C-alpha cells in the first residue's frame, strides 16, 4: 500500500483562516496537522510519498521516514498524479489537513478494493481517495466527490468524521475544536475557553455539526 500526501507550503496555506488566525498560527496549524497525518500514514503503509515544494514540509516528511517528491505546482490533481507515478500496487491519496484522523479511520480506508474507496468532505469535496488503477484521472476542486464517484461508480464510500473533516474555513476549525478529539488544536490556536472563540471571532462561527451527521 502506498499513501500519497500532497502538502502545500506551510506559509501560504489556509488563507481562508486569515480573519481569525495570523500567519504564524496558520503555519503552526498546517505543520502540526501535516506531521500528525504523516505519522499515521507511516505507521499504516509500506510506502508514504509526500508531494511538496515546501522545504520545511520536505524536511519534516524526510525526518518521519516518508519519501519526498517535488510538487509540480499545478494544483492538487497534478500533485496526486505525481505521487502515484512513484509507486505500485494499491494506493490512497490523503489530505494533510485532517485534525481528527485516527489510526482506526486510516485502517478502514486502507481496505482498498479494485472498485476503490472515497471519503467525501462535508462540503462535497474529497479528503481521501484510493484504488488500484495508477492511471486514475484525479479531478479535485469544488464538488469533486461527485466527479470522483462518477469515475469510480462502485467505490466504497466512507464517512467517518476523522477522515472527512478537513480544515478550510473558520467553521471547519470550530467544528474540529468542539469535537472530543480536537482538544490538541486548542494549544495551536491559543484558545483556552469556548472553542468557537477564535481570536474574538466566535460570533461569526457556527457550532460543529452534531456527531449524528457522521459515521463514527
pLDDT for 191 equals 52
pLDDT for residue 17: 87
What are the residues facing 26 on neighbouring strands? none
Taking only the tens place, the pLDDT of each residue in 43-58 is 999 999 999 999 999 9
Per-residue pLDDT band for 180 (boundaries 50, 70, 90) equals: very high
Rounded mean pLDDT of 17-37? 91
The average confidence (pLDDT) of the chain is: 88
Q: What is the mean pLDDT of residues 140-164?
A: 97
Q: How confident is the model at residue 20 (pLDDT cuts 50, 70, 90)?
A: confident
Q: Which of the 8 DSSP states describes residue 6?
A: E
Question: Given CA atoms 105, 143, 31, 134 in this order, what sign does their dihedral have?
Answer: positive
Question: Average pLDDT, stretch 97-105?
Answer: 98
Show Cβ contacts of residue 103 under 8 Å, excluding neighbours closer than 6 positions. 40, 43, 44
Lowest mean pLDDT among 72-81, 149-158, 162-171, 198-207: 198-207
Tell me the fold of 2-164: Spore Coat Polysaccharide Biosynthesis Protein SpsA; Chain A (3.90.550)
Write the CA distances from 144 to 17, 49, 56, 102, 133, integer angstroms: 22, 22, 29, 23, 18
Q: Could you tell me the residue ranges of all domains in the chain?
A: 2-164, 170-213
CA–CA separation, 16 and 209 (whole Å): 20
Amino acid at each position: 500500500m502506498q499513501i500519497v500526501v500532497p502538502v502545500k507550503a506551510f506559509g501560504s496555506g489556509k488563507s481562508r483562516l486569515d480573519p481569525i488566525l495570523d500567519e504564524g498560527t496558520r503555519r503552526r496549524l498546517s505543520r502540526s496537522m501535516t506531521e500528525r497525518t504523516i505519522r499515521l500514514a507511516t505507521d499504516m503503509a509500506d510506502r508514504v510519498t509526500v508531494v511538496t515544494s515546501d522545504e520545511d514540509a520536505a524536511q519534516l516528511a524526510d525526518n518521519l521516514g516518508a519519501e519526498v517528491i517535488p510538487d509540480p505546482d499545478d494544483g492538487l490533481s497534478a500533485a496526486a498524479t505525481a505521487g502515484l507515478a512513484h509507486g505500485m500496487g494499491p494506493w490512497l491519496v490523503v489530505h494533510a489537513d485532517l485534525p481528527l484522523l485516527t489510526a482506526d479511520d486510516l485502517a478502514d480506508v486502507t481496505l482498498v478494493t479494485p472498485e476503490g474507496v472515497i471519503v467525501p468532505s462535508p462540503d462535497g469535496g474529497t479528503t481521501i481517495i484510493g484504488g488500484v488503477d495508477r492511471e486514475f484521472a484525479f479531478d479535485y476542486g469544488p464538488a469533486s466527490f461527485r466527479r470522483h464517484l462518477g469515475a469510480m461508480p462502485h467505490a466504497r464510500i466512507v464517512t467517518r468524521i476523522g477522515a472527512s473533516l478537513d480544515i478550510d474555513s473558520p467553521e471547519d476549525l470550530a467544528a474540529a475544536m468542539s469535537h472530543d478529539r480536537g482538544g490538541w488544536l486548542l494549544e495551536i490556536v491559543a484558545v483556552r475557553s469556548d472553542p468557537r472563540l477564535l481570536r474574538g471571532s466566535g460570533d461569526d462561527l457556527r457550532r460543529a455539526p452534531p456527531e449524528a451527521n457522521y459515521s463514527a
